[in-house]
Amino acid sequence: MTMHRREFLKAAGTAAALPVALARAESSSPTSARLFVGCCALSYGKYLDAGSMTLEGFFGKAVELGVHGVDVTTYWLKSTDPGYLTSLRHLAFKSGIPFSGAAIRTEMCQQDAAKRAEEVRKIQGWVDATELLGASHLRVFGGNLPRGASEQQGIEWVAETMKSACEYSGKRGITLGIEDHGGITAHASTILEILRRVDSPYAGVNLDISNFNAKSDEEQYSDIEACVPYATHAHIRDIFSETERPIDLDRVWKLFAKGGYKGYMSAEYEGKEDPMTGVPKLIEKIKTLCSKYSSV
């Protein structure tokens, strides 16, 4: 049975609701937040899909935009050959652009145990690739709940898969961030229950501020706030995905600052305007807010 929202918010209001491995220090204050400007390769997906931009070209664009880090969506990697990955790592270093992380597609909500095991092996392979890139974070997806399965079963399957994957990634110093991306991760309550069961310091939330399946804007902000203490990376847009209503980014930054978040606020642009003009506008908003609310 789905937890009623009032019960969930009461439970999520204290770090004691989750394991010590996941809890942020209670002493966190707005001045402890460290917010860095990032950009996801997905922001230029239109050009990467068409082949008119390469990941190497994206790095150059990131330098031009003046961001602090890039999130490499792995759909556009030419291969996972070690030579190619280390060449990207070297180019990023020479460009002065650290990796905020890498991102892959996964379907961890699998009813069949063999398929769950295959998802673990898939994540392990991408952990190895992420290590070669020199990144310390890998975005994963929970996936959709199979027809006829209960939410609790889905939570168990995802937690089992992610826990095994974290045991592997943790040995390499790589954190897995499960994104709120519909399906089993459409609500903060299920994400936090998955993390409670995984109980690993190498598990967290790749927090996309636009993606919760909420009944109202207020519920969107509540879900964001509940996940901030466990955020390992953030994807930023300025409209909510389902309603296309504008997001109060200043309010969102206050939540991240209050939660003492330390990490990247990475633009993931999917607006109607051409990315060549739309992405810089979003990046400028992110820069202004990071400057306003970050301790550095």
Tens digits of residue pLDDT in 211-243: 999 999 999 999 999 999 999 999 999 999 888
Number of structural domains the chain divides into: 1
In a domain, 24, yes or no: no
Give ∠ CA 139-261-107 in degrees, rounded to 5: 20
In a domain, 183, yes or no: yes
Flag whether pLDDT at 14 surpasses 90.
no
Encode pLDDT of 249-265 as tens digits: 999 999 999 999 999 99
In a domain, 26, yes or no: no
Flag whether pLDDT at 165 surpasses 80.
yes
pLDDT value, residue 113: 98
pLDDT value, residue 243: 86
d(CA 196, CA 217): 26
In a domain, 138, yes or no: yes
In a domain, 157, yes or no: yes
In a domain, 13, yes or no: no
pLDDT value, residue 296: 80
In a domain, 21, yes or no: no
User: How does the average pLDDT of the chain come out, rounded?
Assistant: 91
Helix pair angle (82-95, 113-133), 10° resolution: 50
pLDDT band at 6 (very low <50, low <70, confident <90, very high): very low
Beta-ladder partners of 204: 177
Q: Which domain holds residue 159?
A: 31-293
Encode pLDDT of 19-70 as tens digits: 545 544 333 444 589 999 999 999 999 999 999 999 999 999 999 999 999 9
pLDDT band at 295 (very low <50, low <70, confident <90, very high): confident
Flag whether pLDDT at 205 surpasses 90.
yes
CB 20 within 8 A of CB 266: no
pLDDT band at 76 (very low <50, low <70, confident <90, very high): very high
Encode pLDDT of 78-109 as tens digits: 999 999 999 999 999 999 999 999 999 999 99
In a domain, 97, yes or no: yes
Flag whether pLDDT at 16 surpasses 70.
no
d(CA 200, CA 100): 20
Percentage of the chain with pLDDT > 70?
90
pLDDT band at 174 (very low <50, low <70, confident <90, very high): very high
Long-range pairs, 144-151, Cβ under 8 A, ≥24: 144/107, 144/109, 144/182, 144/183, 144/184, 145/109, 145/183, 145/184, 146/109, 146/110, 146/111, 149/111, 151/1, 151/2, 151/184, 151/190
CATH code of the domain containing 260: 3.20.20.150
Q: Model-level pTM?
A: 0.90
